[in-house]
Amino acid sequence: MNITSRLAWRNVWRHPRRTWLTIGAMVFSNALLVFMISIQFGMYELMIDNTLKAFTGHLQVQAVGYKDDLKIRQVVPDARSVAERLRSELELETITVRSSAFVLLSSEDRSYGVQVFGVDPEYEPRVSSIPGLVREGHYPTGRDAQEIVIGKVLARNLRVGLGDELTLLGSGRDGSFAAAVAEVAGIFDSGVTDMDRSIAEIPVGFFDDVFYMEGASHAVVIVTPDLASVPGIKSRVEASLPINEGLVVHDWDALQPGLKQAIQADISSAFFMYGILVILVAFSVMNTQLMSVLERTHEFGIVMSLGVTPGRLGTLVILETGMMALAGLLLGALAGGLVTLWFTYNGFSYPGMDQMAANFNLPSRFYPQVTVLTLFLGPAVVFVGSILSSLYPALRLHWLQPVAAMRAV
């Protein structure tokens, strides 16, 4: 350690209580940031995972333009073969086909417009949570069964129960009139009113017959093992698609822009709060360093008279701040990391959370996500904020005149 570093280190400890208070503020805010960011990122992952696993999947192969304009004509030809090939190439069983059409669904008393999906009963439970949310009856078991699964709200609106018949009226892929009668086999309860009111599912073979799909579907839905593997699998799927068939691979943020926007909005508001915390710490550091510079004015005058430039003195002040900030970063990251690690194993919950989570098909405990990013993002910002806050006290030294400084008491 050279003398400047030694000098900075000893200056830091001239007033141990003041130094510990400043470092303490940094440690507290850093630990809090580590915990909050880890919880936040863990929740996002859970939100994304649960939302995507509920229905959308991480990736979908679709006809170009289908995402923005859900026309029944825009299909993936021979979709079941595409899905089969992808299952084999990617060694992934969480791939299924899905078709969709808008129909008028009628019971004896009432009619409602809904989006009906043609699903593969064998593979759908592997990519979607809806089969697991069937609270009454059962999910269709055969591809050609003339059965329908509807949401709890829709069942109530239509005034139907298990075993009742519903009539579907819509347009087929070829523009012809499509109509069928299906028996209510199951009623699901996702806890999301919109979903429970507006969608219905029928087996894909039955859907093919009713809407004249001729083996085509509207999407091949893929659920990847985790979010991190999405880009890699997307590239492999793109490479594997038949050329010139007008197909495209969408990832989850294209399929669910609202989810990404919601997360971004949450990140913005959370980071605004974190920003305020960092600014408060920065002011605390600035106060400490300003006091420290003011009470050493005489000493600075002396060393300036010896030939030390204000720039070097400014560097000394920044170095002192850097030492405190580094201690705050390491201790804060350690404290925050340990607390968060405990919650990583034991989960994080609060009273009433299990009930709310069950409604949204979420687990009753959140598990924070500890990564290098969550561990050091907050403390690094506090570190930089502290260094920036020391610039003002350091810059003040540039205006210091040795003679005037030496007169200071």
Which part of the chain contacts another protein (CB under 8 A), choosing from 6-14, 17-25, 97-105, 108-116? 6-14
Within residues 305-324, the interface with another protein by CB under 8 A covers 305-310, 312
Cβ of residue 236: shortest distance to another protein, in angstroms?
58
Helix (H) or strand (E) holding 278: helix 257-295
Contacts 24+ apart (CB under 8 A), 302-305: 302/406, 304/400, 304/402, 304/405, 305/402, 305/406
**Residue with Cβ nearer another protein (237 or 323):** 323
Identify which of 309, 284, 278, 295 has the alpha carbon closest to the alpha carbon of residue 402. 309
**Residue with Cβ nearer another protein (9 or 102):** 9
Cβ of residue 25: shortest distance to another protein, in angstroms?
23
**Residue with Cβ nearer another protein (227 or 303):** 303
Cβ of residue 373: shortest distance to another protein, in angstroms?
38
Cβ of residue 17: shortest distance to another protein, in angstroms?
16
Identity of residue 380 = A
- DSSP 8-state assignment for residue 52: I
Within residues 261-300, the interface with another protein by CB under 8 A covers 298-299
**Residue with Cβ nearer another protein (5 or 229):** 5
3-state secondary structure of 77: coil
Distance (Å, rounded) from C-alpha 361 to C-alpha 387?
Answer: 45
**Residue with Cβ nearer another protein (248 or 327):** 327
Cβ of residue 2: shortest distance to another protein, in angstroms?
6
**Residue with Cβ nearer another protein (289 or 374):** 289
Contact by Cβ (8 Å): 301, 399: no
**Residue with Cβ nearer another protein (6 or 135):** 6
168: Cβ–Cβ under 8 A, 6 or more apart, which residues?
A: 103, 104, 105, 116, 148, 178, 179, 180, 181, 182, 202, 210
State the binding string over 106-125 for another protein (x if CB under 8 A, else -): --------------------
**Residue with Cβ nearer another protein (135 or 398):** 398
Per-residue tokens: 25: 């503020």
Per-residue tokens: 18: 């003041």
**Residue with Cβ nearer another protein (7 or 70):** 7
Contact by Cβ (8 Å): 23, 325: no
Does residue 14 interact with another protein by CB under 8 A?
yes
Distance (Å, rounded) from C-alpha 83 to C-alpha 124?
Answer: 12
Binding residue (CB under 8 A) for another protein from 76, 221, 277, 304: 304
- DSSP 8-state assignment for residue 229: G
Does residue 10 interact with another protein by CB under 8 A?
yes
State the number of binding residues for another protein (CB under 8 A). Answer: 24
Does residue 408 interact with another protein by CB under 8 A?
no
Residue that the structure tokens 């709200």 belong to: 153
DSSP conformation letters of 86-99: HHHHHT-S-EEEEE
Does residue 3 interact with another protein by CB under 8 A?
yes
Within residues 376-405, the interface with another protein by CB under 8 A covers 401-403
Binding residues for another protein (CB under 8 A): 2-4, 6-7, 10-11, 14, 298-299, 302-310, 312, 401-403, 406
